[in-house]
Structure 1
Amino acid sequence: MTLSSFLSVDTTNRSVSLDSSDPRFYDNPNAVYAALHEQAPTFYWEQQKQWFFSSYDLVNALLRDKRFGRQILHIASREELNMPPPSAHTRHFDAAESWSLLELEPPEHTRLRTLVNRAFVSRHVEKMTPEITDLANGLIDAFEGERKTELLASFADIIPVTMIARMIGIPDEMGPQLLKWSHDYVGMYMFNRTRADEDAADRSSKEFSDYVRSIIAQRRATPREDLLSHMIHTEHKGQLLTDDELVSTTIVLLNAGHEATVHQIGNSVRVILESGLDPSALFADAASTERTVEECLRICAPVHIFQRYCLEPCEIDGVSLKRGDKISLILAAANLDPRKFPDPLTFKPIRNEGANLSFGAGIHFCIGAPLARLELNLALPLLFKRLPGLKLASRPKVKDVYHFHGLERLDLVW
């Protein structure tokens, strides 16, 4: 199979024709990104009707550029931008997103992030090491004797959702329901989403919001030592968060706190096993483990695209943009820029070429990055240590979505 059979690049006009729902693409997007770095690292994606940027330096700079933001309606009206009115059938989703940390710009973003940031700093998160280790060991205990497992359901799904729920103050038994709501919710971020996807996201948004409101009421009456109680009862410059702000913030923390990490655990195990490298060497000590985890994040990032609105007219890499234009930054492709990472498609944990962009950069740098990194640095070495001889039982099946890159299932034997 050749890339030209499903990827068309016009280098003169820097335009690309590519169907994001084609399994030849989403099964191995890295090969496409390598071709785009060669031919058109900045390109207009015809099907998405939008400019995309994939070079490391540009993506890194644009993530920090104040001429671009996650929202636009704080400085311009829908009428000015010829933007259609909100859809009635996604009103519950829109309400849940209205105060999302991912969607706001300063000063609102600064106020909300300040209230939750303390819980996610490395020194606080590191205190969770024994709890994460115990949870991972307990999960492995349950399937170790069977000498086979489907790792996503038995391990990868459970650790991140359990830990973020505990931090916020939501019972462990809600884990499966949180996963269902989250899967439906993030369907709104996908290319080529259908009306059915939107209806599912809206329905789950209402259920998710109603549940969070019930927990908020409980914590108002009886505060506990958890993040939700902290958010409810802590003032910032004399202001408390409203219920709407609490609902949006809690939902985004729950979703972002586990969705990507689930994918990253599965992606990382696959990459390590397919590399043929010795896991005992990859996880020989803390420094080796950290390098291995960062290389996994670089080469198989779970979140591929982050979008921005242009807040003022400007020109980027020869592309003229006007206020209200939406652009996309391909984090996963930036991690494969050969000018930054030589031999980018090769898994090399000994790299020392700089930071990957899998958690973003700038004011929207992933607030949960310290927690995700800790979970990966603990869970991955433990898995390979406890299950010597671990190998793939069959070719892993990639989820048929883009721009979250993860596996449908990961069957292992040992």
Structure 2
Amino acid sequence: MTQLSQDPTAPGFVQDPYPFYARACAAGPLVRWEEYGAIAATTAEAVTAILKDRRFGREAPPFEVPGHLGAFYGVEAHSLLELDPPRHTRLRGLILRAFTTARVEALRPALEATAHELIDAFPAGPFDLLPAFGAPLPVLTIARLLGFDDAVAPDLLAWSNAMVRMYQPARSRADEEAANAAAGAFSAFIRSEIASRRGKTGDDLLSALIAAHDEADRLTEPELISTVILLLNAGHEATVHTIGNGVKTLLETGSAAHRPVPVEEILRFDPPLHVFARWAREEVTVFGHTFAPGDRVDCLLASAGRDPAMVPDPNRFDPGRAAKHASFGGGLHFCVGAPLARLELEIALTALLDRCPGLRLTEPPVYADVYHFHGLERLMVEV
């Protein structure tokens, strides 16, 4: 098996990781990524197979939780994203019972109105599209979906930003302490919301989740808190990055006028999440390598999207392509929020590009050092 070295915080990689993925993909379906200390699945075939293989799971081997991270890992311990069957099966079923297609589709009018309100407030002259449009749209959407007042959106955004720093290889002790404090504050806020709504009827998602909590087969309060935090953190972070990456790509490739907006090709070409880890639940041999129980494999979602075996001319953005990708994961952990993400991206990008046909970049976009996420630090534009 080929061993490859690539610092995920190196400036060249941060701005363009795709040459490394091409090298990794060409080296074989599995490679050893030295800096990550694990084997990485690189090809579309390998990534898809491992994501769907139930001999691999999300539950990491037991470890001692550091004292300064008790609140953060207290949330993680009940997160759908970090669990395997049978608990994952039960929890996902309860969440899907509340997070219905009808509830997501019912957000369309409010999403469209929010997008146009944000566009109406664009300043004259160059401005950063991310804080003006990319960041507020998804956090307001999820807040309204859960039935929270718009006024709490800045707190939700701050807590989310602090917590997701934990998933980055370059995090510091200060990042960890901020994430732990955010987890504690976020949990306390949701706990108070649950207490204020119990016994009341409501059409929002939190009320629906509370109703599931109160039935015989129910979400416990810690599970409910972790679920709400996951919906905000995963949904917001990924959507912000996809809006930014998508606008950048559409403008740079001259594809802004294409309709419908090519959401799936955007997700294939420059997705928001690049790595998703799995752990072997038993001894398992795949693609010529035997994993022992507890061994980790990192599925390189973005590498799979650029695999020439799956997509012809993969480094070319083609808005007319019927794109295939693994950007929402796969198998048991396929993203529960995928329908909402697709709706948000369709509405946000269509509204933005229809309302601002002269939208242009005013300086080269800069990616942030936030791997294993992949998103812009700023996106300076002018309408």
TM-score w.r.t. length of structure 1: 0.89
Q: Structure 1 residues 327, 236: CA separation in 2 closer, same or farther (over 3 Å shift)?
A: farther
**CA distance in structure 1 between the partners assigned to 2:254 and 2:228 by the alignment:** 40
**CA distance in structure 2 between the partners assigned to 1:201 and 1:168 by the alignment:** 22
Shift of 1:232: 1.4
Out of 114, 123, 133, the position equivalent to 1:135 is 114
Match for 2:164: what amino acid? V
Out of 293, 301, 305, the position equivalent to 1:331 is 301
**CA distance in structure 2 between the partners assigned to 1:228 and 1:196 by the alignment:** 31
Shift of 1:122: 3.4
Residue in structure 2 matched with residue 405 of structure 1 by the alignment: 374
| 1:349 lines up with 2:319 in the alignment | yes
Q: Structure 1 residues 237, 134: CA separation in 2 closer, same or farther (over 3 Å shift)?
A: closer
| 1:124 lines up with 2:118 in the alignment | no
| 1:50 lines up with 2:20 in the alignment | no
- Secondary structure of 2:267 counterpart: helix
Segments of structure 2 that go 5 or more residues without pairing to the other structure are none
- Secondary structure of 1:212 counterpart: helix
Out of 314, 317, 330, the position equivalent to 1:361 is 330
- Secondary structure of 2:198 counterpart: helix
Q: Structure 1 residues 253, 221: CA separation in 2 closer, same or farther (over 3 Å shift)?
A: same
Match for 2:79: what amino acid? S
- Secondary structure of 1:394 counterpart: coil
| 1:110 lines up with 2:79 in the alignment | no
Shift of 1:390: 0.9
Deviations, residues 42-61 of structure 1 (Å, cap 9, x unaligned): 21011111000011011111
- Secondary structure of 1:306 counterpart: strand
**CA distance in structure 2 between the partners assigned to 1:119 and 1:134 by the alignment:** 24
Q: Check whether the contact 1:188–1:201 (CA below 8 A) recurs between aligned residues.
A: yes
**CA distance in structure 2 between the partners assigned to 1:204 and 1:251 by the alignment:** 11
- Secondary structure of 1:324 counterpart: coil
**CA distance in structure 2 between the partners assigned to 1:238 and 1:120 by the alignment:** 19
Shift of 1:41: 4.2
Residue in structure 2 matched with residue 243 of structure 1 by the alignment: 221
Residue in structure 2 matched with residue 10 of structure 1 by the alignment: none
TM-score w.r.t. length of structure 2: 0.96
**CA distance in structure 2 between the partners assigned to 1:123 and 1:213 by the alignment:** 26
Shift of 1:193: 2.1
Deviations, residues 352-384 of structure 1 (Å, cap 9, x unaligned): 3x5211111111111111111011111112111
Residue in structure 2 matched with residue 163 of structure 1 by the alignment: 141
**Which structure 2 residues correspond to residues 8-47 of structure 1 after superposition, within 5 A?**
13-47=1-35
**CA distance in structure 2 between the partners assigned to 1:234 and 1:267 by the alignment:** 36
**CA distance in structure 1 between the partners assigned to 2:183 and 2:214 by the alignment:** 27
**CA distance in structure 2 between the partners assigned to 1:34 and 1:208 by the alignment:** 39
Q: Structure 1 residues 212, 236: CA separation in 2 closer, same or farther (over 3 Å shift)?
A: closer
**CA distance in structure 2 between the partners assigned to 1:41 and 1:149 by the alignment:** 42
Shift of 1:236: 8.6
Q: Check whether the contact 1:115–1:236 (CA below 8 A) recurs between aligned residues.
A: no
Q: Structure 1 residues 58, 121: CA separation in 2 closer, same or farther (over 3 Å shift)?
A: farther
Shift of 1:118: 3.7
**CA distance in structure 1 between the partners assigned to 2:27 and 2:50 by the alignment:** 21
- Secondary structure of 2:239 counterpart: helix
Out of 195, 209, 212, the position equivalent to 2:173 is 195
Q: Structure 1 residues 56, 236: CA separation in 2 closer, same or farther (over 3 Å shift)?
A: farther
Match for 1:301: what amino acid? P
**CA distance in structure 2 between the partners assigned to 1:207 and 1:237 by the alignment:** 27
Give the share of equivalent positions with the same residue, in percent: 44
| 1:154 lines up with 2:154 in the alignment | no
**CA distance in structure 2 between the partners assigned to 1:236 and 1:204 by the alignment:** 27
Tell me the C-alpha RMSD between the 2 structures: 1.6
**CA distance in structure 2 between the partners assigned to 1:166 and 1:93 by the alignment:** 24
| 1:321 lines up with 2:291 in the alignment | yes
- Secondary structure of 1:412 counterpart: strand
Q: Check whether the contact 1:116–1:227 (CA below 8 A) recurs between aligned residues.
A: no
| 1:388 lines up with 2:357 in the alignment | yes
